[in-house]
Chains A and B, each alone.
Chain A
Amino acid sequence: MMNCLDFRRRVGAEPFATDEEVAAHRSDCGPCARHQDELQAMDGLIARALAVEAARIGKANPAESFPLPASAKRRLFAIAASLIVGLSVGLVLLVSVPRTSVAREVMGHILHEPGTMATTTPLAPGELAGVLDPDGTRLRSGIGDVTFAARCLFDGHVVPHLVVRTSAGPVTVLMLRHRTIGKPIRIAEQGYNGVVLPAPRGSIAIVGQGIANPDVIAQQVFDAVDWGG
């Protein structure tokens, strides 16, 4: 049986630990439960603190670091027609193939960045715009404060990843323009629940922790997204 010292050492190293021993001690010891809550909140602040603007650090544009040589550019024009045909065929195949792994990939991404769900301080509008503008999307006000926004690598594509504090608590929002799905896909795993919804552009994943009515919250978030022209 874990004692208070063991518990605090454990969550001091892993604030989001949820194994049986931690859960059992947490449910029996109010001060330790509060201590873990404090550490989780601090991890949210650490995550935000570390997320400094990369543009202030790096000078060079990565695209400039690896320019296409002129000969390759000419070849690009030459093969454009065949690419268009190929992409069209590929697109038809892509939309017709069931993508049952999207829920697993969404959960994998969320579990890889647990600190983001603990963020609490609203972002400045400019920070959010910097993440959404490249995709031509916007988030209408009223749905809740956005406390985390980043462009993340997901399935080989760069996608907006937000955490929005809704009336039901924080939810992770992943805008997956590249993933077309035919119908909503539910997610219920490791205390998280939510749904991946078909969207005007690809799909959107909306996932929280223990949300009572995830469909309602997901619809509210979905309605708050302006997908652009």
Chain B
Amino acid sequence: MNRADGETDRRRRFGTLCEGLRPDLLRFAFWLGRDRGLADDVVQEAMLRAWKAFDSLTDESKAKAWMLTIVRREFARTFGRKRHPTTDLDALVAAETDVLAAPEDERLAEMRAAIFRLEDDYREPLLLQVMMGYSTREIAEMMGMQQGAVLTRLFRARARLRQQLGLSAEAES
């Protein structure tokens, strides 16, 4: 394969990866930052960084974890600059009504608002587990925590959600 073919192939492979991963990465960044503008910026910037570092991805079956790591880093980098000035959770929910609305299913809308109201420490492992499909061991590695701490956060996240939705919550002790 000559250099031009190699570059074209590289772009094609990267484009395929992006098409498949971008929706999940956008959702992840949106739920992480609770701001669609921030999510779009973070994912866009992360993809540019990923493109520059694409040659370091030697196993494309690990592309999802690789891109997610880049998004998490980019989020941490960007979050300080563009952090939403308000801590009013109702205002955060109201600002993203277009994305959170589920007129056909009231329970879905309630759950979305409840997830929005979860503390960052509980929301992120829940996203990684339910949306991205990672095991608690993998989440612990990603977040640099003990697996036991991840289990506790996940338990508390679901307990908080049950509480917010008016279901009986488990004791957290």
A residues at B contact (CB < 8 Å): 5, 8-10, 12-15, 38-39, 42-43, 45-54, 56-60, 62-63, 65-66, 68, 72, 75-76, 79, 112-115, 121, 124, 150-153, 156-158
Tell me whether A57 and B115 are in contact in the complex, defined as CB-CB below 8 angstroms, given that A9-B155, A14-B154 are known contacts: no
- A42–B151 Cα gap in the complex (Å)? 17
Give every chain A residue within 8 A of B167 (Cβ-Cβ): 38, 42
Q: Tell me whether chain A's interface is mostly helix, strand or loop, or mixed.
A: helix
- A14–B27 Cα gap in the complex (Å)? 22
Give every chain B residue within 8 A of A45 (Cβ-Cβ): 107-108, 111
Nearest A residue (CB) for B22: A62
- A87–B14 Cα gap in the complex (Å)? 19
Give every chain B residue within 8 A of A10 (Cβ-Cβ): 151
The 3 closest A-B pairs by CB, nearest first: A153-B20, A54-B23, A112-B133
Q: Tell me whether chain B's interface is mostly helix, strand or loop, or mixed.
A: helix
Q: 17 other contacts beyond A46-B130, A52-B99, A62-B22, with CB at 8 A cut-off?
A: A5-B171, A9-B170, A12-B155, A12-B170, A13-B155, A14-B151, A46-B115, A49-B102, A49-B111, A49-B115, A51-B131, A54-B23, A57-B29, A60-B44, A66-B47, A157-B16, A158-B20
CB–CB A12/B158 < 8 A: yes
Give every chain B residue within 8 A of A51 (Cβ-Cβ): 27, 131
Of A50, A62, A153, the contact of B127 (CB 8 Å cutoff): A50
Shortest distance from the beta carbon of B29 to any chain A beta carbon, whole Å = 8
26 pairs of residues in contact across A and B, judged by CB atoms under 8 Å: A5-B171, A12-B158, A13-B136, A13-B151, A13-B152, A15-B158, A42-B167, A43-B130, A46-B126, A47-B131, A49-B111, A50-B130, A52-B27, A52-B112, A54-B23, A54-B26, A57-B30, A57-B39, A60-B44, A63-B19, A65-B44, A72-B11, A79-B5, A124-B104, A156-B60, A158-B20
- A60–B107 Cα gap in the complex (Å)? 30
- A2–B135 Cα gap in the complex (Å)? 21
* Total residues of chain B contacting the partner, CB 8 A: 62
B residues at A contact (CB < 8 Å): 4-5, 7-8, 11, 13-24, 26-27, 29-31, 36, 39-40, 43-44, 47-48, 51, 60, 63-64, 98-100, 102, 104-105, 107-108, 111-112, 115, 126-127, 130-131, 133, 136, 150-152, 154-155, 158-159, 161-162, 167, 170-171
Give every chain B residue within 8 A of A112 (Cβ-Cβ): 133
Give every chain A residue within 8 A of B22 (Cβ-Cβ): 54, 58, 62
CB–CB B39/A58 < 8 A: yes
